[in-house]
Amino acid sequence: MKIINNSLQKENMVCINNELMQYFRNWFYRYIETFNSSEKNIRENILLKKMHTDRVCEEILQIGRKLDLKEDALRFSELTALFHDIGRFEQYAGYKTFADYKSENHAELGVKILKKSGVLNCLNDSSRDLVYRIVSYHNRACLPERETDRCLFYTKLLRDADKLDIWKVLTDYYLRKDGVLNSAIELELPDTPEISDKVYEAVINKRIVDAHHVRNLNDFKVLQIGWVFDVNFKPAMDALIYRNYIEIICSVIPASEKLKKIKEVVNRYVEKQAY
Ligand SMILES: [Fe+2]
């Protein structure tokens, strides 16, 4: 894990005051109200993403404060968190799935929605474009090489905050008492017992799992474990360790030699990051 320092704060920051931030929050809540539906399934999944967004905003502020970011930088990072999954609502309403491979890339869709709405028109061109790029990169397997330090810094911050909350949603789901399945969370994957070779190979080589190699629910869980190799900031890694997310996900995968090896590699990696 590469810990990124705070020197970026010295650059000219985009200035978003409290009032403007409140305008963006109000816009967001009005926007998602338009997805109110009589269908219980739609209502629940829209609410799931609304609550996820609220918590990602909180997570990003917590990480940012632990990194001693200044108020301007905190508000800008909160703005990226607020809009990072704006594409999810239209995606679910239109396709009834959160699986990008069955519908469309929710990050790209989000950028289209932001552009069409004009909600960011009150920002200057470069700040607006920065938000669009960060939103479009937030779910990529790897980040673009040709980007500014500032863009990569905020994208990494967002990716850490986003992952922390996805781990929360998934582990809450795996440990649920009611046993009710949510195919939107499981991405309609089959619950077969094996772990695919390509998924296994990626994790034991400390690489992020390519979503295209995910064949079943176990693969999806191993992919979630592998996100540990893409945590950028120490406060996020500390939260991941403190909240036991990796252990919980491992506990809901059937025991096997492959799982044993995955645990070994991941635990060794996490232990190294803890200091
Ligand atoms: Fe998200």
From residue 86, how far is each of 119, 123, 168, 234 by CA, in Å?
Answer: 12, 18, 19, 27
Looking at residues 216-228, what average pLDDT do you find? 95
Q: What is the Å distance from ligand 1's center to 111 Cα?
A: 14
Looking at residue 14, what is its pLDDT? Answer: 61
Q: Which long-range contacts (CB under 8 A, 24 or more apart) does 13-21 make?
A: 13/70, 13/72, 13/73, 13/76, 14/72, 14/76, 14/123, 14/124, 14/126, 14/127, 14/130, 15/72, 16/72, 16/75, 16/76, 16/79, 16/123, 17/75, 18/75, 20/122, 21/75, 21/78, 21/79
Q: What is the Å distance from ligand 1's center to 98 Cα?
A: 11
Complete domains list, the chain, with CATH: 7-158 (1.10.3210), 189-273 (no CATH)
Say whether pLDDT at 5 is over 50. Answer: no
Q: What is the Å distance from ligand 1's center to 243 Cα?
A: 18
Q: What is the Å distance from ligand 1's center to 22 Cα?
A: 20
pTM equals: 0.89
Residue 148: DSSP 8-state: -
Looking at residue 73, what is its pLDDT? Answer: 94
Under 8 Å between Cβ of 24 and 122:
no
Q: How many CB atoms lie within 10 A of CB 148?
A: 13
Q: What is the Å distance from ligand 1's center to 139 Cα?
A: 8
Q: What is the Å distance from ligand 1's center to 257 Cα?
A: 32
Looking at residues 46-62, what average pLDDT do you find? 96
Say whether pLDDT at 91 is over 70. Answer: yes
Share of the chain above pLDDT 70, in %: 95
Confidence label for 40 from pLDDT (cuts 50, 70 and 90): confident
Q: What is the Å distance from ligand 1's center to 258 Cα?
A: 29
Q: What is the Å distance from ligand 1's center to 222 Cα?
A: 19
Question: What number of H helices and E strands is found in the chain?
Answer: 12, 0
Strands, E assignment, 116-270: none
How far apart are alpha carbons 76 and 87 in whole angstroms? 19
Q: Which two tokens stand for residue 179?
A: 């046993």
Q: What is the Å distance from ligand 1's center to 169 Cα?
A: 11
Q: What is the Å distance from ligand 1's center to 78 Cα?
A: 13
